[in-house]
Amino acid sequence: MVLVRTTPPRPVEVTAVFPELAPLARPAIRLHPRPGAPSVGDSSVGGPLLWPAGEPWPHCEDAHLHGDSGFRQSPAEVRLDRRRMARSRKDPHAPSFGPEEEAAMEQAVARLAERMDAGPPRPAECPVPLLPVAQLYVRDVPLLRPPGEADLLQVLWCPYDHEPDWKPSTAVFWRSAASVVDVLATPPEPYEANYPGYVPQACLLAPEAITEYPNSLDLDPALRQAVGDWSRWQAAGADVDGSYADCPAEFYDGNLADAPGWKVGGWPPWGRTDPYRRYCAVCDARMVPLLTIASFEWDSGTRGWAPYEDRADAHASGRRAGHFPTQPTRVEVGSTDNMQLYVCPASPEHPHTDLIQ
């Protein structure tokens, strides 16, 4: 069964109202993660990685501030708790585990509890194994521009907050899938996570190509003023609810500019701060968005972006943490914000950077 998600047409053809926006159009691919059981051969969020058995698994060597959140659970415990809660609520969007998988998780939880009760070394004082965040094959996400012969992007993070920005530290790997002969069967996992939102739920993807336009904060002053001019919308005959008359830029940002949710490429979802340009530490080129890691696929202000296939749930569920399909990955960064990963357009092998928005 092929997972499909389809973004409805935008309520207004924005370039008909503002032809000046046409040169600013950018391609993006919405990933549309949904709970599933991906394999190493699938593009996924939170799924297993096609990782060579002979290559060391990445660990975080930084100092970790243990226990600040008051949360102490292993990733296995987080996943098991989610399954139990979803089953008790009869959540139709919840991931399904067979008896063997659930028993294996319970055994993993028991083993980790014994190890943690044994005393030092403390989990946060050890090199911490990174957790898989996303695996994207170029065949599924052709917007990716990998270096050399690579055709696979793998993103991992450390499930602890890191100073000074209080977010997980991320790692990016490009590789050729064909070069991986023997796959690492059982990657190591951290003893615990800083927050349950730092443990991505395994999801399959339904990549969809769309076109985006810049957030109003990314527009030059003249175009930003035009987008905020209600008379300009009226003169073009745009069918926009009159409730936006005092702030048409809000309609533009929520319905016509950049799409919410997990995506590759496109425009950044500003809002937490004004646009903050990122520059390559090696060549000083202005970096471009690679991946947006989203806490929510949409919220009350961006519900119009909900795919056709999720419309009923979108209007019934609203924006509630932990509820599918609004938050299928169970990831939560910042104050239910987005983490954007940026890469150098001159060379994807140059160090990436990230930013919470």
- Angle (CA) 351 327 138, round 5°: 45
d(CA 208, CA 70): 39
What 3-state DSSP class applies to 10?
coil
Extract the tokens encoding 26: 């950018």
Of 197, 45, 207, the C-alpha closest to 135 is 45
264 and 234 in contact (C-beta within 8 Å)? no
Residue 95: per-residue pLDDT: 56
Q: At what angle do helices 75-89 and 99-117 cross, to 10 degrees?
A: 140
Contacts of 280 (CB under 8 A, 6+ apart): 286, 287, 344, 346, 350, 351
Predicted confidence (pLDDT) per residue in 151-203, tens digit:
999 999 999 988 777 889 999 999 999 999 999 999 999 988 888 999 999 99
Q: What is the pLDDT of residue 56?
A: 97
Q: Tens digits of per-residue pLDDT, 53-90?
A: 999 999 998 877 554 555 668 898 888 888 877 766 65
Q: How many CB atoms lie within 10 A of CB 335?
A: 8
Taking the C-alpha atoms of residue 147 and residue 80, their distance in angstroms, rounded to an integer, is: 38
Asked whether the predicted pLDDT for residue 108 surpasses 70, the reply is no
For 281-305, how does the pLDDT look when each residue is reduced to its tens digit (9 = 90+)?
Answer: 999 999 999 999 999 999 888 999 9
* pTM recorded for the entire structure: 0.89
